[in-house]
Chain A
Amino acid sequence: NAGVMQNPRHLVRRRGQEARLRCSPMKGHSHVYWYRQLPEEGLKFMVYLQKENIIDESGMPKERFSAEFPKEGPSILRIQQVVRGDSAAYFCASSLTGATEAFFGQGTRLTVV
């Protein structure tokens, strides 16, 4: 089991472009969580998804950010019209159920220039 896989590991975007971050959960896991870590800060919860459903998006910015976890394929965190303040490390975690241990990916470091 390769663990939670995130790609790309590093992503550079110009202001105004779109960023797409992918997360493949561990095999058999159907619960996915996205976190954002701004420089010098801790991880902050963004969104919790279960296959094809958004369970909790209380940490997602209201505009420009969206997430999905389709029936087939990885979970995608999409940021439209990126701004410099979106520069951060984005971590994905997955778990077997909503109550079991969540395992983290290595993160995607987004830099907006």
Chain B
Amino acid sequence: AQRVTQPEKLLSVFKGAPVELKCNYSYSGSPELFWYVQYSRQRLQLLLRHISRESIKGFTADLNKGETSFHLKKPFAQEEDSAMYYCALRRDAGNMLTFGGGTRLMVKP
């Protein structure tokens, strides 16, 4: 069975500080991992996926198979980054996602 764990429910940082949102997973197959973001009063949207190896809005995430982690990082947080962040793992076939419990990021001025 697959499982995604986000150990922090809330992360509060000051503007300009580095941010790391933790995500650990357990999965017997070859994982495909994603980060989704939900800004206030908006729908859940894809932020980035590990296979793209891209940087979106300054965020990056590297898949570490040895540590079974996919932490989301940004060197300098902005106030507009305040949102709920969900780490998700895609199951074998199809688009069914297993989500972590989410981390609320608050960036203070």
Given known A-B contacts A42-B100, A42-B102, A31 and B95 have beta carbons under 8 A apart: yes
On chain A, the residues within 8 Å of B86 by CB distance are 42-43
Tell me the dominant secondary structure on chain B's binding face: loop
Q: Is the CB of A102 within 8 A of B101?
A: no
Q: Is the CB of A104 within 8 A of B96?
A: no
A69 within 8 A of B: no
The digit string for A93-108, where 1 denotes a CB below 8 A from any CB of B, is 1010011111111110
Given known A-B contacts A42-B86, A43-B86, A101 and B46 have beta carbons under 8 A apart: yes
Task: Tally chain B residues at the interface, Cβ within 8 Å.
Answer: 19
Q: Is the CB of A104 within 8 A of B95?
A: no
A44 within 8 A of B: yes
A41-B46 Cα distance, complex, nearest whole Å: 19
The digit string for A3-20, where 1 denotes a CB below 8 A from any CB of B, is 110000000000000000
Interface residues of chain A, those whose CB is within 8 Å of chain B, are: 3-4, 31, 33, 35, 40-45, 48, 55-56, 59, 91, 93, 95, 98-107
**18 A/B residue pairs, CB under 8 Å, sorted by A:** A3-B43, A31-B94, A33-B96, A42-B99, A42-B101, A43-B99, A48-B94, A48-B96, A55-B94, A59-B96, A93-B95, A95-B95, A98-B93, A99-B95, A103-B45, A104-B44, A105-B43, A106-B42
